Chains A and B, each alone.
Chain A
């Protein structure tokens, strides 16, 4: 009868995502932002904002959505997943903000990062009664935004399509609300007005 001897068991040290020391200082250089995981919640001055990368992703109806479709509006762009507990705290807040501010030129756009796609995301959205548009994201989208790894990661984008604030991890509802109101009340740039009402502007 054969005998079995095991070699020294493998030590498995789980280093997930930003548990690695090198990940404790996330860089968003591709979108002109750098900082620690605990990013500042204030809205950045206009001159420090960089353009939010445009993307083309599909919504639940199969329609292609471009971030540039939202120019002229303040956008809360939320990277999340169904397996993310902190994300589920924020989603009802975002639903409330969508309800209260939609008529003022505000939109929430969710980017679901579930590998299983609509199979798991659609029932989740139905269960929660999510009232804003959600698209399925991918690694390419995450890379465009500096490598989104921790969820939730939320970007506040001004009417000109520039990133005004970033929240990595669970943030406070007040921080979001304050940022949104500041961006909604900011004067609109002339280029944004022209884009919104091209028929009223005639070059001399």
Chain B
């Protein structure tokens, strides 16, 4: 089962991908604090864009980034002993954003994925 986390980044800004091109760069990362009746939580990030920015030196590698709108997919499965009823998976999305001229401190956003475990047919 998949949960999709839609993300929209304001025009003129970008964030590092989950696999940035430099060790000092802070990657996009989803982590889970609790998943309730769900197991797994493997995160599938979209394919990043590789782009050179005007603030980079000529000999620097292009950056691996996300911009605009995209989705992060999370794969879950229901635990074997799950009880029927509502639940919520709680996690955190960490990102670090820049424009062409400046960068902003890394931020954390709380993520909640409500779900309903239904009795099997």
Residue ranges of A at the interface with B (Cβ–Cβ < 8 Å): 1-7, 9-19, 37, 81-89, 113, 115, 120, 124, 149-152, 168-170
Contacts and interface: CB of A to CB of B under 8 A. Distances in A.
Nearest to A168: B102
A87 B56 CA distance: 10
B55 A2 contact: no
Nearest to B38: A4
A187 B118 CA distance: 80
A4 B103 contact: no
Contact of A4 (B78, B100, B102): B78
A150 B55 contact: no
A16 B109 CA distance: 10
Nearest to B98: A85
B102 A170 contact: yes
A37 to B, nearest CB: 7
Contact of A5 (B96, B101, B106, B115): B115
Given A17-B104, A19-B13, A149-B104, A82 B24 contact: yes
A176 B97 CA distance: 25
